[in-house]
Structure 1
Amino acid sequence: MIDNDDKKRRRLVEFKNGCRYGRFGKTKAYELIAHERIRAYKMGGKTLIDLDSVDEYHASLPRLEARASPGTESP
């Protein structure tokens, strides 16, 4: 996921806040970064997470289809 759109303003937050926003832990965050599912940047010693890429990741997740509950099936 490489984005070279220089005109677009990035919403970057510190790593911990990006994990909180994305509702995942640091291990999952590093996994998503490694698989280029979310974007991250380095600024000095800090890792910053792009919130737009987190939104894109969430939007790409498959929807869970509801199954009929036992005893509620129609004939």
Structure 2
Amino acid sequence: MGKTDSNNVKQRRLVEFKDGCRYGKFGKTKAYELIARQRIRAYKMGGKTLIDLDSIDDYHASLPRVESRAAI
């Protein structure tokens, strides 16, 4: 979860687009796809697109686990 300030309001962890892609371990095409599908959140500040890192954490947490097919 994001940090809270003294008024107990959640602070967004926003980073520039390229840093969000690096954090999420995906490229810009995948980032735009995830934004369009509302899987991660992005905001505009002037000409910059900022990505919410908490939304990337939520996206990663929603990914299905890979089950091993190997018998032990």
Relative to the length of structure 2, the TM-score reads 0.86
Which has the higher Rg, Structure 1 or Structure 2? 1
Q: Which amino acid aligns with 1:41?
A: Y
Structure-to-structure mapping, 1:22-61, within 5 angstroms:
22-61=24-63
Indicate the SS of the match to 1:49: strand
Distance 1:47 1:24 in 2: 16
CA distance in 2 between partners of 1:35 and 1:7 (Å): 27
Please give the secondary structure, in 2, of the residue aligned with 1:41. Answer: strand
Root-mean-square deviation over aligned CA pairs = 1.5
Shift of 1:7: 1.5
Percent identity at matched positions? 80
Corresponding pairs, count: 65
Q: In structure 1, what residue type is equivalent to 2:18?
A: K
Could you list the runs of 4 or more consecutive aligned residues of structure 1 that deviate by over 2 angstroms after TM superposition? none
Amino acid at match of 2:51: I
- Give structure 1 stretches of 5+ with no counterpart: 1-5
> Paired residue for 1:63, among 53, 62, 65?
65
Q: Does 1:9 align with 2:14?
A: no
Shift of 1:53: 0.1
